[in-house]
Amino acid sequence: IHTIANIVKTVEGVKLLDIDPGKATNRTVITFVGEPEKVIEAAFRLIRKASELIDMSKQTGEHPRFGATDVCPLVPIANISMEETAAYAHMLGKRVGEELGISGYFYENAATSEDRKNLATVRSGEYEGLKEKFSKPDWKPDFGPTVYNTQVKKSGVIAISARDFLIAYNVNLNSTSTRRANAIAFDIRENGRIKMVNGKKVLDTNGVPQKIPGKLKAVKGIGWFIEEYGVAQISYNLTNINVSPLHLVFDKTCERAQHRGIRVSGSELVGLVPKKVLIDAGVYFLK
């Protein structure tokens, strides 16, 4: 992990901010910052090193994934527009495809089509489903080889994006039940849950299952059991902290957990958050 992460330090002007490994997820979030061209160079070197050291055919973990460098989101912080950031994402993808022979997809603001915007859609089927994915005309990669080969078998593929801050945030429960953790996640997340009547899915006129939306917009969530802690956990992605701030997600999770006879026993950030997030939380709870 450190061999891969420290590669970014070889680019002058790039600062490595954080390395956050997860045991159960078997996944590490690496955060670094700098001027665009330098960040692109550092990301390229990191992707190359990860492809050399990680064999995806031997990788397992709780978190969805389909590549050695699973996702590489570029986040505009200051003095750069989202459009410019997307152009840098395309530049990086082109180079990864041409020089490393690694295939991949653009998502969020760098997506080449509307149906590729959502990371969960792009990553569906995960690493194990790549052979089938490559055979579908609709899922031809945006860059790199378009046929399943030995490089794909070893390194998988990569998703590259331009997007706003995304906060990865986990909430622990005093329960071991994944089912109950998922129930709380469905209460909160924007996508909600499938509508059921008498144990059967309610379908619309097109045969698509109807949804009961959750309480908070711009929130994705799933429940799982973390062996490391011996508890069930809800793993959230907060995609717009202006719409659903971190403190509100925590508070509503506590509320829904209590409603279901469970208590929240703690929470953890994966990676970093803007300082404003913590100040806003302080103001909210002081009130």
Active site residues: 63
Beta bridge partners of 213: none
> How far apart, in whole angstroms, are the C-alpha atoms of residue 191 and residue 120?
12
Q: How far apart are CA 37 and CA 14, in angstroms?
A: 10
SS3 per residue for 82-106:
HHHHHHHHHHHHHHHHHHHCCCEEE
DSSP string, 128-175: GGHHHHHTSGGG--SBS-SS--HHHHHHB-EEEEE-S--EEEEEEES-
SS3 category, 191: coil
Helix (H, G, I), strand (E, B) or coil at 277: helix
CB 24 within 8 A of CB 123: no
Q: 11: how many CB neighbours lie within 10 A of its CB?
A: 20
Kindly give the pairing relationship between strand 200-201 and strand 211-212: unpaired
E-only strand ranges, the chain:
15-22, 27-33, 71-74, 104-108, 158-162, 167-173, 193-194, 196-197, 200-201, 211-212, 219-226, 231-238, 264-270
Task: Give the amino acid at 196.
Answer: M
Q: Residue 196 to residues 2, 165, 179, 279: CA-CA distances in angstroms?
A: 47, 34, 16, 40
**Tokens representing 41?**
């160079």
